[in-house]
């Protein structure tokens, strides 16, 4: 079991490699943005920033791309999963604007 701040659901861990410690701030920022929510553009910006942060933290391109695709697919608000879906903090699970 991992003790890092990256909130990868257990059922998705088989697909995503363990994050290096240097990537933990990337995960924390991304999770904060997902909690807060916003528009479709805000979500895309959060996910792209996450990808580039992971790359800057030393994660390989392929691994960072897998994370990016995972958050684009499984982070959509229609999944309505607390702690993982867009805008989960207010339990809105929808885009604004």
pLDDT digits (tens, 9 = 90+) for 3-62: 556 888 787 888 887 888 999 999 999 999 999 999 999 999 999 999 999 999 999 999
CB 33 within 8 A of CB 53: no
From residue 78, how far is each of 5, 41, 67, 93 by CA, in Å? Answer: 24, 16, 19, 7
pTM of structure: 0.89
């Amino acid at each position: 079991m991992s003790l890092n701040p990256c909130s990868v659901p257990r059922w998705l861990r088989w697909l995503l490699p363990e994050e290096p410690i240097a990537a933990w701030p990337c995960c924390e920022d991304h999770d904060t943005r997902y909690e807060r929510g916003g528009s479709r553009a805000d979500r895309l910006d959060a996910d792209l920033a996450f990808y580039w942060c992971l790359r800057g933290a030393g994660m390989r391109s392929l691994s960072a791309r897998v994370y990016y695709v995972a958050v684009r697919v499984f982070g959509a608000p229609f999944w309505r999963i607390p702690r993982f879906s867009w805008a989960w903090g207010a339990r809105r699970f929808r885009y604004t604007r």
